[in-house]
Copies of this chain bind each other. A is one copy, B any other.
């Protein structure tokens, strides 16, 4: 599994390899399956202090350390570290790159294998099968078993990470003492699917996409992937956040000059797009956005979301952000209603924030206090 697509540098990710592979929801079996992961803190002797962090669409396992490709800080260092809500002095934190991702877990960018597990000398590319949120969680479960952890103290994640948290609690209730789905929903809405489809159309429109076989000549559909990132990035911010950050400020000009990219918000977005393509694979983007679109937890339980949680002993902490229009509070409330209907133990908080969906990644003291308190209470309960 060493064939990589240019222009990504080869990174020696920490991985667990499962030779038996896994059968996906779409019916295809892939073997072997690699799960790239990172851990922080120490597992205690009772193996009772492990928290699984689930990352979002464009996140990865580098939660709280320098990113090997970008050199930037980990994506959740605001909340993960010694003495922080996800306290590395107290908990053993695990984060795995999702199945279908591009940071070392089995996905379109890794070397394709045949049904017998033999490497085929080229990346999966568009031959990588469709995966679902449940498949991602299945791969994480193999990792957690491999690490010898019978029950997670908690599963925590925002956005697509929150979808995985819900799926964990529904599929492996005995393995999850506490669950914190943040800024998420139990299904992907028509508007969310529509924005994803714009991104996919932009990738497909790029002449360098070449039907997904861009790896053959060492090029990537950079412009299409960049446009996909630009539109997604707008949905991660609130209108207030964009206005506060940029308003109608002009770039290097006091008055309108009729030049291209004259507004600061334009150059910011273009920068977001162009840096993204240096760390993310287009086929992974297509695979993972599809997985999010497919997600509909109620549909997995005959249309009854409460049935997904009936009889659960897991305790839940649901959080939303008031200015998040991608995963609005109404969708968190729908989760809470279903949990209540299932007689689950649930607390819910809507954090007042004008930062939009991205708030879950940023300095939000009230959110940090609430999540930290929930996790500490759960740890106290199990004596971790």
Contact = CB atoms under 8 A, between A and B. Distances in A.
A369 to B, nearest CB: 30
A227 B206 CA distance: 11
A14 interface: no
A206 B223 CA distance: 9
A349 interface: no
A130 B188 CA distance: 40
Nearest to A188: B248
A198 B263 contact: no
A175 interface: no
Contact of A263 (B234, B246, B258, B293): B293
Given A190-B242, A190-B245, A265 B197 contact: yes
A320 to B, nearest CB: 15
Contacts of A242: 189-191, 194
A354 B299 CA distance: 26
A296 B248 contact: yes
A266 interface: yes
A201 B228 CA distance: 10
A210 to B, nearest CB: 12
Contact of A239 (B190, B247, B293): B190
A253 interface: no
A298 to B, nearest CB: 10
A269 interface: yes
Contact of A246 (B190, B230, B273): B190
Given A205-B224, A224-B205, A194 B266 contact: yes
Interface in A223-247: 223-224, 226-227, 230-231, 234, 237, 239, 242-243, 245-247
Contacts of A224: 205
Given A193-B265, A248-B296, 8 more contacts: A189-B248, A193-B263, A194-B266, A194-B269, A197-B269, A197-B270, A198-B269, A201-B223
